[in-house]
Amino acid sequence: MDIINKFSSAFWSTDIWLPPNVTWADIAPGSRPDVVHANYKDLIWPIPLAAVVMLVRYTLERFWISPVGKSMGIRSSRPKKAANVPILENAYAKSTRLDNKWLGPLSKQTDMSERQIERWWRLRRAQDKPSTLVKFCENTWRCIYYLYSFIFGVIVLWDKPWFWNVKSCWYGYPHQSISNDIWWYYMISMSFYWSLTGTQFFDVKRKDFWQMFIHHMVTLLLMSLSWVCNLHRVGSLVLVVHDCADIFLEAAKLTKYANYQKLCDAIFAIFTVVWIVTRLGFFPRIIYSSSVEAPQILPMFPAYYIFNSLLLMLLVLHVIWTYMILKIVVDSLQKGLMSGDIRSSDSEDLTDSSENVRQANGGSSRSKSKSSTNSGGVSQRKSHSASNHTADTEEKAISK
């Protein structure tokens, strides 16, 4: 117990986390009658609130989003299951990617042709993928939350001086009051990220799984430390800047799943512009203020470098994601389409999207003449070839 106490005292040393000549007692709740300081004990609230957020999500997805998706014709069923072949199952358990070197030995062991094994492997991989409806529900939920969070954040910050002048984040620090609206903005935002951290292991697995996990952890760490150190002003700015672009990203994904391709392309174009403006424009402006302007107003202390390092970690992730997004945009403009899941899903999402289009057009196609059908088949093969090229590019991309 003494070791834990000593470690805690050393870790939370005022020499690290607070400006010179300021103690934890100086910023404790009730220490000053004219200032409402942050209470570190409030950080426990986002954890039970995360359960409420997950309950709200389940209710919306089950009783509203899913029925709407089904009414729009989005597939809720998965492809048929692959035959139970223990030898192939064991090989699949080692790697979901089929190595061509395995085809010969597996063919001998199972008395199946190499083509049959390849078909089985495709079915088996498709079997593990969630249905299009599941992905539609997930993205719709996130779109709803980010829209709410951004609007609520703008309303909360609209009358705050630091919303219009970042330098105001540092005036009077650390004795800056926390209003009720800022308290709720912080608690709800943290509860959402806690819920994402938990449900990420059960949601649709994306290629940027660990990047997003690190993103959530860094975000929660930043918010928690900024709350403890009464740096809620700059923390609220970081939150509102990050929520804006995510609205359009999730909206583009769900319109793709609903087969509104032109709308998806338009929203994705808006997303790209908003992403660059907020993540590579406004966010670096905040980092500039904390790095250059803050030292001109406040005496520096070690926590300053900790916060700036975490902010820079987020910026590095944004730069990586921006590069990947621009690669998709350039490739899609060259091919004249925006296929596959935007930023992070596997290329199988392309198959889901293409299958929905074929099902939607199937009835009318059958009623056309044979020559029209053949012409459509050629056009579809060309489109499919272009889609595969885009999917190959996107399969290498990672996101937020």
**pLDDT tens-digit profile of 248-293?**
999 999 999 988 989 998 999 999 999 999 999 999 999 999 999 9
Is-contact 236 153, C-beta < 8 A? yes
Question: Which pLDDT does position 336 carry in this prediction?
Answer: 61
> Distance between CA atoms of 292 and 286, rounded to whole angstroms?
10
Average of pLDDT values for 141-147?
95
Position 204 confidence tier, pLDDT thresholds 50, 70, 90: low
Span 325-343, pLDDT tens digits: 999 888 877 776 554 444 4
Is 383 a residue whose pLDDT tops 90? no
Query: What pLDDT band is residue 310 in, cutting at 50, 70 and 90?
Result: confident
Which pLDDT score is estimated for 79?
Answer: 64
Say how many residues make up the chain: 400
Q: Which domains does the chain have, with CATH numbers?
A: 24-71+131-335 (no CATH), 86-128 (1.10.10)
Amino acid residing at 45: W
* Residue 200 binned pLDDT confidence (cut-offs 50, 70, 90): confident
pLDDT of residue 249: 92
- Predicted pLDDT of residue 1: 67
Q: Could you give the CA distance from residue 46 to residue 142 in angstroms, rounded to a whole number? A: 18
* DSSP annotation of 167: G
- What would the mean pLDDT of 115-131 be, rounded to a whole number? 80
Report DSSP state, residue 45.
T
* Contacts (Cβ under 8 Å, ≥6 apart) of 242: 219, 278, 279, 283
- In sequence order, which ranges of the chain are alpha helices (DSSP H)? 2-11, 14-17, 46-60, 66-71, 86-94, 100-110, 114-128, 132-157, 161-164, 180-199, 209-228, 232-257, 261-277, 283-288, 294-297, 302-335, 348-366, 370-395
* Confidence tier at 181 by pLDDT (50, 70, 90): very high
Judged against a pLDDT cut of 80, whether residue 43 lies above it is answered with yes
Where does the pLDDT of residue 232 fall: very low under 50, low under 70, confident under 90, or very high at 90 and above? Answer: very high
Q: Are 123 and 79 in contact, with CB atoms under 8 Å apart? A: yes
CB atoms within 10 A of CB 89: 12
Is a pLDDT exceeding 50 seen at residue 213?
yes
User: Given this model, what pLDDT does residue 170 score?
Assistant: 93
The one-letter code for the residue type at 293 is E
Q: Measure Cα distances from 251 to 87, 212, 233, 265 in Å.
A: 42, 19, 29, 11
% of the chain exceeding 70 in pLDDT: 81
pLDDT of residue 78: 65
**pLDDT score at 95:** 77
Mean pLDDT score across all residues of the chain: 80
pLDDT score of 68: 92
Contact 381/348 with Cβ under 8 angstroms?
no
pTM of the model: 0.75
